[in-house]
Structure 1
Amino acid sequence: MSSAESEGIEYRLSEGVKPPGKVIALLNQKGGAGKTTLATHLAGEFAMQGQRVTLLDADPQGSALDWAQRRAQSGQDRLYGVFGLARDSLHQEAPLIALQADFVVIDGPPRVAALARSALLAADLVLIPVQPSAYDVWASQEMVQLIAEARVFRPQLRAAFVINRRVVGTVIGRESRAALADQPFPALQAEVSQRIVFADSVAAGRLAFEVAPSCAAAREIAALAQAVREMLL
C-alpha cells in the first residue's frame, strides 16, 4: 500500500468512520483441501447474519467465480460480492476493499508462492483447511513456514487449522487433531464433515443452508463461523 493510501485510511478513521473489516484468508499449498467450499460458505454465513461481505477469488483456477456465475445464472439472490483478484498486489488491494466491508474472505491459491505470500500479508486471520489424513498434515508444513515468514512483517497475524472433509463415524479426525497438536497454531474445535449436500449445493451455485437450512452441514458452517469470530476478537 502506498503512503498516500495509508494516510487516506488513517484520515478516514480519525474522522470516525467504521474501522476496516476483518480479512480472512483460506490457504493451503495442497490441492483438494476444500478451500473454496469453506470460503463460499463462511462468506454466506456472515452475510446471512447481516454483515457486509466480499469474497476475493485469489485462485487462478477461479472456482469461486465459477460458483458465483452459476448462482447468477440460476436466478439466486446475491448474498455477497465475488471478485477475481489473483495477483500479488492482493496485500495492497484487500485492505482498501475491507474499508467497505465487515468481512473480506480470500479464497487462496494452490502453490503460487508470491500470491500466497501476498494473501498472508493482507490477512488478519489465516485458516488452513486440512483433510483428516497424515498426508495433509505433512503437506501443511510449507504453509506453516510461509506464515512464520509473514509474521516478521505482520506479528499480529493469527492462524488456525480447520479439519475439513472429515468422514462421519470414523476416528481419523481425532487422529489428525492429535497430529496437529504439535503445530504452532491451534486446530479449531469446529470441524466440517464430508457431506453430499456440499457437492450438490456448489454445483447449483447455492450454499448448504439454502438447500437444507437445518442440515448438519449448515450447523457445522455456523459453528465454524462462530469460532472464526471468537478468534478475531
Structure 2
Amino acid sequence: MRTILVANRKGGCGKTTIATTLAAAFVAQGNEVALADADRQKSSLKWLSLRPKDAAPITGLNWTRDKDLGEAPKRVDTVIIDGPGALTGRHAEALIREADEIVVPLMPSVFDTESTDSFLDKIEALKKVRKGKACIHVVANRVRLKSRALLALETHMAETGRPLMARISDRLAYPTLAGEGLSVYDKDTMEFAPYRKQWHPLLLAVGD
C-alpha cells in the first residue's frame, strides 16, 4: 500500500486542496483510494460528504487520533493523508512513519517560506526521512505563474536544495469544485486540462 502524507505546519497553504485532488487523481487512474483526515477540522471528510454518488468512490478515514493511524481497508492500495495544521512532536513522527511520500505545499510569501524552511528542517531530521525511506516533494500552491513572488520562491528553494516539484495556479475552479465534493480530475473536459497538466510532475513523483 502506498501512503502519501500532505503536511505543513503553516496554515492556509492549501493542504486539503492538495490532498483531495491527489485522491481524485489516483482514483481516476483506477486505484482503490482512501482519504485519511488527520486534521481536527476534518475538511477532507467534509469534502467526501459532499461528493456525488456517481463520482468515483473514495473511502474516508478518520485519523484524527493516533490510535487510528494505519487503519485502512485491505482493498485500498493508495492512502492520501490530509495532515493536521499543527504537525509537531509525536503526532508528526507517527504520521511520517506511515508515509512513503510527503507532499509539502506552501504559498509564495516570506512568511510561508520561513515557516516551511523550519518545518522541513525538522522532518528531514526524522529517522525515516533521514534514511531515505520517505521522500519529500515541495509544491508551490495558489501561485501566479511568471510572478516575481513565484520566481523568488523558486530561487530560494533551489538554493536550499529543495527544488519545487510542481506549481499549482490560484484558480477559482478549485474552491468551486470542492464545494461539490469534486476536483479537476472529476471533470474530464478541455477546460480543466491545463490545470491537470500542472499536477503531472507531482503525480509522476509520488506514483512510482
Give the shorter-chain TM-score range: 0.7 to 0.9
8 Å CA contact 1:130, 1:137 repeated in 2: yes
8 Å CA contact 2:2, 2:79 repeated in 1: yes
Range that drifts further, 210-219 or 168-177: 210-219
Residue 145 (str. 1) matches residue 125 (str. 2): no
Range that drifts further, 214-223 or 42-51: 214-223
State the partner residue of 1:220.
Answer: 198
Residue 87 (str. 1) matches residue 62 (str. 2): no
Residue 104 (str. 1) matches residue 79 (str. 2): yes
SS in 1 for 2:50: helix
8 Å CA contact 1:165, 1:193 repeated in 2: yes
* Alignment-mate amino acid for residue 128 of structure 1: V
**CA deviation string 1:108-140 (max 9, x = no partner):** 001142322221111111111011122211111
Range that drifts further, 174-183 or 36-45: 174-183
Aligned residue among 141, 153, 166 for 2:143: 166
* Alignment-mate amino acid for residue 2 of structure 2: K
8 Å CA contact 1:128, 1:159 repeated in 2: yes
Aligned residue among 52, 58, 83 for 2:32: 52
Range that drifts further, 213-222 or 135-144: 213-222
* Alignment-mate amino acid for residue 84 of structure 1: N
8 Å CA contact 2:28, 2:185 repeated in 1: no
Q: Distance in 1 between matches of 2:125 and 2:152?
A: 28
Q: Distance in 2 between matches of 1:187 and 1:98?
A: 33
Q: Distance in 1 between matches of 2:128 and 2:83?
A: 20
State the partner residue of 1:66.
Answer: 46
User: What is the count of residue pairs matched by the alignment?
Assistant: 204
Identity, in percent, stands at: 27
User: TM-score of the superposition, structure 2-length normalised?
Assistant: 0.87
Q: Distance in 1 between matches of 2:201 and 2:134?
A: 22
Range that drifts further, 166-175 or 197-206: 166-175
* Alignment-mate amino acid for residue 111 of structure 1: A
Q: CA RMSD in A?
A: 2.2
* Alignment-mate amino acid for residue 23 of structure 2: A
8 Å CA contact 2:123, 2:129 repeated in 1: no
**CA deviation string 1:19-50 (max 9, x = no partner):** xx111101000001111001111111111011
8 Å CA contact 2:143, 2:170 repeated in 1: yes
Q: Rg: which structure is higher?
A: 1
Q: Which has the higher helix share?
A: 1
Q: 1:153 to 1:202 in 2, by over 3 A?
A: closer
Aligned residue among 205, 210, 220 for 2:181: 205
8 Å CA contact 2:7, 2:87 repeated in 1: no
SS in 2 for 1:162: strand
Contiguous gaps of at least 5 residues in structure 1:
1-20
Aligned residue among 149, 156, 169 for 1:193: 169
Q: Distance in 1 between matches of 2:72 and 2:102?
A: 17
Q: Distance in 1 between matches of 2:46 and 2:149?
A: 32
User: Higher relative CO (CA 8 A, sep ≥ 6), structure 1 or 2?
Assistant: 2
Residue 123 (str. 1) matches residue 103 (str. 2): no
- How far 1:77 moved relative to its partner? 2.7
Aligned residue among 160, 163, 168 for 1:183: 160
8 Å CA contact 2:138, 2:162 repeated in 1: yes
